[in-house]
Amino acid sequence: MSFEIEGKLHKIFDTESKTETFQTREFVIVTDGVYPQFVKFQLTQDRCGIIDGYNEEEKVKVYFDLRGREWNEKYFTNLNAWKIERPAAPAESAAPVDQTANKSGKDPFDFPVEEPKTLENDYDDLPF
C-alpha cells in the first residue's frame, strides 16, 4: 500500500551501512498545520541517493510504503520512502473576466437606494 505526504525537509542524515550488503538513509520532514508533525522516513539500498538533490528547508512530496515487523515480541514500523519530488506549483489561473461589464456602460448593480421610513411612534413590542 502506497501513501504520500508533503512537507518541508527538516533533517537529512548520512547513509549508514548496516551490513556489507544493506544500507539505509533517514530523513525527517515537517508537515504544515496548526500542530506540525516531524515524520522520519527511511531510504534503503539503491534508493539512498534519491534525496541527494534536495536541501533542508525545501518543500517536498514523499511517496512511501508502510512496513511493520515483529522481533522478540516487540513491534517496529518503518516508513520506507521510494520516491521524492518537489510539489507542483499551483497553476496560474487566467485573468478573471469582468462579469459586471455591459455595453451600456452603466453598472447593472446600481439600484436606486431608498431612505428607510421612520414611524411616528417608532415603538415595537419586542422584549429585547
The pLDDT tens digits for 107-128 are 666 666 676 666 666 666 667 6
Q: Tens digit of pLDDT for each residue in 48-107?
A: 999 999 999 999 999 999 999 999 999 999 999 999 999 887 666 555 555 555 556 666
Q: Is residue 72 part of a domain?
A: yes
53 in any annotated domain: yes
Domain assignment of residue 95, yes or no: no
Tell me if 60 is assigned to some domain.
yes
Instruction: Give how many domains the chain has, as a whole number.
Output: 1
DSSP state of 114: -
Contacts of 32 (CB under 8 A, 6+ apart): 6, 7, 8
CA dihedral defined by 101, 102, 105, 111, rounded to 10 degrees?
A: -80
Residue 34: give the domain boundaries: 2-85
CATH number, domain with residue 59: 2.40.50.140
Q: Kindly report the pTM of this predicted structure.
A: 0.65
Q: Quick check: is 8 in a domain? A: yes
- How far is 99 from 70, CA to CA, in rounded Å? 63
